[in-house]
């Protein structure tokens, strides 16, 4: 089956909106908490990357958002490891570029 051009590379929304939580070790358990608190309103997925800096987190988020629709939500959570490495300014650059 051939996908129409406007849908190529996009996830076709069938059902619940998706919330994706992507971040460092501080995000551990957050997807579960969201799923518990929101009930079955959303599909909730978590990507925990222990020890990851904001560069890795935003690169992963970039890949993930290419599959989302306008009804979906992505939560990018990190910079703790960048701050510990005295690289706060780099983390700010990565998150700013991701937001753009």
Vertex 35 angle, CA 14 and 78, to 5°: 100
Compute the distance between CA of residue 31 and CA of residue 36 in angstroms, rounded to an integer. Answer: 9
Q: Is 37 within the bounds of a domain?
A: yes
Assessment of whether the complete model's pTM goes beyond 0.95: no
Helix (H, G, I), strand (E, B) or coil at 55: helix
Q: What is the pLDDT of residue 5?
A: 38
| Per-residue burial over 77-93, b = 16 or more CB atoms within 10 Å of its CB, e = otherwise | bbbbbbeeeebeeebee
Residue 11 covered by a domain: no
- For residue 22, being part of any structural domain is answered with yes
Contact 94, 58 (CB under 8 A): yes
Number of domains into which the chain is organized? 1
Span 12-66, pLDDT tens digits: 446 789 999 999 989 899 999 999 999 989 999 999 998 889 899 999 999 888 8
């Amino acid at each position: 089956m051939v996908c129409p051009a406007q849908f190529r590379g996009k996830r076709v929304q069938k059902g619940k909106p998706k919330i994706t939580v992507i971040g460092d070790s501080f995000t551990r358990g957050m997807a579960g908490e969201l799923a518990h608190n929101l009930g079955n309103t959303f599909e909730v997925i978590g990507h925990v990357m222990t020890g990851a800096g904001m560069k890795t987190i935003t690169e992963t988020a970039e890949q993930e958002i290419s599959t989302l629709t306008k009804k979906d939500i992505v939560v990018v959570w990190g910079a703790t490891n960048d701050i510990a490495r005295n690289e706060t300014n780099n983390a700010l650059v990565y998150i700013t570029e991701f937001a753009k």
